[in-house]
Structures are given as C-alpha cells and as structure tokens.
C-alpha cells in the first residue's frame, strides 16, 4: 500500500487556544505561524502519522502586552523554547476520530489526546485534493511548565490551568 503525504494549507487553517480569565470570561489566542504534515495509507486517515509545529513568537491574543507576557519566561519562554510541537497518529475507531501523540512545550513532552471531526476529502477549483479536520481538546498548562499564577484580592484565579486547543486544519495532498 502506498503512502500519501499531506501538508497543512496555512491560508485555510487556524490554530487557536482559549483560557478562562478571572473565571468569568475567556481569552482567545492564535498561533499565526505553524506548519505540519500527515502521511496516510488511506483516504479515511486511520493510522495516519501527524507532525506539527507552531512558532511561539507568533502568539496573538489581539493585545500586545498580554502577548509579550505569554512569550516571557512566566509562560512559554519563547526565547529558550521557540516552538510547540506534536507528533502522533490519527486513530479512527468506528468513525470516532482521535489525534493521539506527544505534545511538547518548554521541553516537556506529555501524551495528549484530542478529538477530531474529519470533514472529508474534496478537490478544490484548482485541481488540488484537500482534507479537512476540526481538532479540539484540553490540556493543563502547568503540566508543561507554564506555571505563572496570580490570585485577586477576592480569591479569584487570574488564569485557568485548563487550556482548550482548537484547530481548523486543511491539508493539501502532495503529488
């Protein structure tokens, strides 16, 4: 069986995260620079190997001071740990897709499982074959050394430990 290589189409993909702030609202951030690929033996992507990296310095929460704090040693430490990476496999269990593998942040690697909604495969108007995925899950930021924390006078946590990862990914089949 032949292996098909796919790469992320960055113009039709986005990588975001959401975290509770003060327990009362949610802050959304994006990684603006990222790349990734998949290698599959079938169009259903069962067992496909996946590799992904995001540039920490590309974090964008639409607020430059917060972005600078997230890039600092208090959180991601972009100067010493410039990338987030993931290596794993897509698993299809009767139509229930998961992305299972190793997520690495700040030189800490943890097994991670994310839910996948596989949108299917289609040809675009330019003759390229594309595959679409919505990927979502939660991680605990402190598991990866992102341990900065503060508490308000009233006792509210400033930043939640739980972070939602939300990726909308379109892959392009390589010739």
**CATH code for the domain in which residue 66 is found:** 2.40.128.110
Contact (Cβ atoms closer than 8 angstroms) between residue 119 and residue 92: no
User: What's the domain count of the chain?
Assistant: 1
User: Across the chain, which distance is largest between two alpha carbons, in Å?
Assistant: 62
Q: What is the pLDDT of residues 35-44, one digit of tens each?
A: 999 999 988 8
Q: Give every CB contact of residue 129 below 8 A, 6+ residues apart in sequence.
A: 121, 122, 123, 172, 173
The answer to whether 120 and 134 have CB atoms below 8 angstroms apart is no
Q: Return the pLDDT at 166.
A: 97
What is the dihedral angle through the alpha carbons of 157, 101, 52, 167, rounded to the nearest 10 degrees? Answer: -50
The pLDDT tens digits of the residues spanning 49-87 come to 999 999 999 999 999 998 999 999 988 999 999 999 999
Parts of the chain with a pLDDT under 50: 156
The pTM (predicted TM-score) of the whole model is 0.90
- Structural domain contains residue 175: no
Please state, in angstroms and rounded to a whole number, the distance separating the CA atoms of residues 47 and 4. Answer: 12
Domain, as residue range, for 166: 4-170
């Amino acid at each position: 069986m032949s292996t098909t290589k796919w790469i992320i189409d960055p113009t039709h993909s986005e990588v975001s995260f959401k975290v509770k702030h003060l327990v009362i609202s949610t802050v959304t951030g994006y990684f603006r620079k990222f790349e990734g690929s998949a290698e599959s033996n079938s169009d259903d992507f069962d067992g496909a190997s996946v590799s992904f990296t995001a540039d920490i310095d590309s974090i964008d929460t639409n607020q430059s001071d917060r972005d600078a704090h997230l890039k600092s040693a208090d959180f991601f430490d972009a100067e010493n740990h410039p990338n987030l990476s993931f290596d794993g496999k897509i698993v299809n269990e009767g139509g229930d897709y998961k992305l299972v593998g190793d997520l690495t942040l700040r030189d800490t690697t943890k097994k991670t499982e994310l839910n996948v909604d596989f949108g299917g495969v289609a040809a675009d108007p330019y003759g390229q074959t594309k595959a679409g995925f919505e990927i979502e899950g939660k991680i605990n930021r402190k598991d990866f050394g992102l341990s900065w924390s503060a508490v308000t006078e009233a006792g509210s946590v400033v930043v939640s430990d739980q972070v939602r990862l939300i990726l909308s990914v379109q892959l392009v089949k390589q010739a």
